[in-house]
Structure 1
Amino acid sequence: MHINPKFLLQLVEIAERGSFTEAAESLCLTQPALSRNMKELEAQIGAKLLIRDRHGARLTEFGRRALPYAQAMRKSLERISIEAESWQHGRSGSLLIGITPHPASLLPKFLAEFLADRRGVTASMTVSGILPLIESLGRGELDLIIGPVGIEPFPAGIVAKILFTDELALFAGASHPLARKPVIDLDDLRHVRWVGTPSDSLMRRRVASVLSSLGLTEVRHDIVMSGIESALEILETGNHLAVLPRMPARAKILSGGLVELPVALPMPHWSVAALYPEAAEASPLVLDFVHALTERFG
């Protein structure tokens, strides 16, 4: 049995208005056309649905049974329309975000604020190295990545939107012995304990390049942390040094927990970008999220 859903919606309009005349006007149809549609609907269903008399139109007993299903269908179509509009404007759906350790310390507050205005949106955040994240993005397992660029190539068809540029600096806890020295030389740095990111991370490689240019080729990291926030917490104990991006450390410097050491290092720029498929492939939600990121950090 094939039932035309458009005719069911017209049946609902007639039943709720109690009049073919009013229903036809609401539906922008002529009364004869609406009457033909109802006769065809009754033929499709195999049962009479409406009775017309001088008082208007009313449902038959079977029509009253069928009406709730037709109304439910109308409600479902309305919800689909609302969801489609929300999708087009980036107000519903799910975000699968891959992020490297550096910006991961900056994103949670922003993400909470973004979702607060978009109640139909859910998000999950995976923290990892940039190379595994790029592979996941290529397989369609992530919607976008937030991480460093200019170090490793990324696949064709991927857009990189620069969010901000940070710099690496040498940090210590406020109670560390070197924190009070106005001048720090190479010998001071040869005998300290270090905190670093994992050996296979791009951050570790960049830091190794910075320290090597200073003459520190054999640096032993006593503690290895994948998260920048965790490394900053360890630095506050006053027992270690670390080369880290300035931006995540700013709050702890202002609170007095950390100091930036006066060491003339070649501080390379560290650009962080949103990586996502080209506009033709990216969802409206991803583009909305990237736009919000750019407004906040760009």
Structure 2
Amino acid sequence: MLDTWSLRVLVEVAARGSFSAAAEALSMTQPAVSRQIGGLERRVGVRLFRRSPRGVSPTPAGEAALAHALEVLDGLRNMSARLAAFRDLETGSLRMSAFPSANTVLVPEAIRRFRGAHPGVEITLVRHDPAGPLPAIRAGAVDVALVTGWELYADPERARHHGDTTTVGLDDVELTPLLDEELLVALPAAHRLASRTRIRLTDLAGEAWIEGAFPDCLGPLTELTEALGAPPRVGFFCDDWNGKQALVSSGSGITLVPPLARTAVRRDIVLRPTEPALPPRRLYAVTAPPPHRGPAAEAMLGLLGELIAEYRR
């Protein structure tokens, strides 16, 4: 097999017309260059240069070898430049996926900041994979997926609770906990309980509830049932974020909203914490583990951490 150094020596000898000139350009001795070309000719089985007292010139085989050598060396230079651009986040791509309530505020702001910091990287938001976030990350279809613990618990491999600052490995993916969200109840501004600062869940036992698509739903219904003292009466199902808000605003029913989405809530809706507080919903970023996680995904993880820290403050 030919090595790149031999190809470089071949190119220099052809360009300069002598072994001594090529040796000077390459910081080698003239005998070392001669041996390099001789060894290359033995490996390919043909003479590549005509030798004469006035210098050397390529044979027809040497001309063909020179053309291929230039192509190979140019390709290697281009590859190095492109990979360096990925390392420096000057180019490349990043594919994200997230659930609807995360897409109301958190994800758009993360995308805005990422584009400002790395304008050469193409960032896209793709549809949440119906098979779940973990298979999409494993298949390389998504680089960063925002998920909730509810989704992970539905995964056959299941995820366990960990501290907020712990990065969790789960086979060939990595879960980075971002935030525990204490879900808020959404009421129309004219609701009889809207003036309260905290809503007792037992006072909502007779209300019609609006269920949504997983994971923007009422969550583990057994826990909500225990808190209400009776199963919630689900009167409406709507997986559209704006549609759910319209139903709440019209007085048709009530629902649960994660705090991260509260700035996207209509002004004629009030959000209140509950008593007792419902079990929190944990937000995770799912990525491939190092060293398979690319620099763009690493940068997005850092941005998400900054945004969550700002939210906590």
Distance 1:234 1:241 in 2: 8
Aligned counterpart, 1:11: 10
The residue that corresponds to 1:252 in the other structure is 265
Q: Please, which runs of 5 or more residues in structure 2 have no aligned partner?
A: 160-169
Matched, 1:178 2:204: no
Q: Is the 8 A contact 1:91 1:121 kept in 2?
A: no
**Residue aligning to 2:234:** 220
- Partners of 1:207 and 1:41 in 2: CA distance: 74
Deviation at 1:180, TM superposition (A): 8.7
Partner secondary structure for residue 183 of structure 2: strand
Mapped contact 1:236–1:257 kept (Cα < 8 A): yes
Indicate conservation of the 8 Å contact 2:188/2:249, yes or no: yes
Give the structure 2 partner of residue 110 of structure 1.
110
Two-structure CA RMSD over aligned residues (Å): 4.1
Q: Which AA in structure 2 matches 1:269?
A: P
Number of the residue aligned with 1:24: 23
- Distance in 2 (CA, whole Å) between partners of 1:88 and 1:50 is 44
**Kept after mapping to 2: 8 A contact 1:196/1:204:** yes
TM-score, with normalisation over the residues of structure 1? 0.72
CA distance in 1, matches of 2:202, 2:298: 50
| 1:149 equivalent in alignment to 2:149 | yes
Q: Which residue does 1:125 correspond to in 2?
A: 126
Instruction: Provide the rounded CA distance (Å) in 2 between the counterparts of 1:219 and 1:159.
Output: 37
Q: Structure 1 residue 40: deviation in Å?
A: 3.3
Which runs of structure 2 are paired with 1:1-298 in the superposition (5 Å)? 3-17=2-16, 20-43=19-42, 44=44, 46-49=46-49, 54=54, 59=58, 63-87=62-86, 95=94, 97-105=96-104, 106-111=106-111, 113-114=113-114, 117=118, 119=120, 123=124, 125-127=126-128, 132-137=132-137, 142-149=142-149, 152=153, 153-154=158-159, 155-156=170-171, 158-172=173-187, 177-178=190-191, 181-183=194-196, 189=204, 193-198=208-213, 201=215, 203-206=217-220, 209-210=223-224, 212-215=226-229, 217-225=231-239, 228=241, 231-232=244-245, 235=248, 239-252=252-265, 256-261=267-272, 264=275, 266-279=277-290, 282-298=293-309
CA deviation digits over 1:121-156, x for unaligned, max 9?
A: 565534257x83235556766555322238733245
SS in 1 for 2:195: coil
Shift of 1:297: 2.6
Report the count of equivalent residues.
Answer: 289
- C-alpha change, 1:216 and 1:285, in structure 2 (3 Å) is same
Partner SS state of residue 132, structure 2: helix
- Quickly say closer, same or farther: Cα 1:118–1:19, change in 2 above 3 A: farther
How far is the alpha carbon of 1:213 from its aligned partner? 0.9
Q: Aligned equivalents of 1:233 and 1:79: distance in 2?
A: 54
CA contact (8 A) 1:171 1:244 kept: yes
Query: What is the CA–CA distance in structure 1 between the aligned matches of 2:286 and 2:64, rounded to whole Å?
Result: 54
2:259 partner amino acid? R
Sequence identity, in percent?
Answer: 21
Tell me the CA shift for residue 100 of structure 1: 3.6
1:210, 1:266 within 8 Å by CA — same for their partners in 2? no
Could you tell me the TM-score, scaled by structure 2's length?
A: 0.69
- Contact residue 173 and residue 259 of structure 1 kept, 8 A: yes
Q: Deviations over 1:151-184 (max 9, x none)?
A: 733245654322233321122455xx31895257
CA contact (8 A) 1:171 1:258 kept: yes
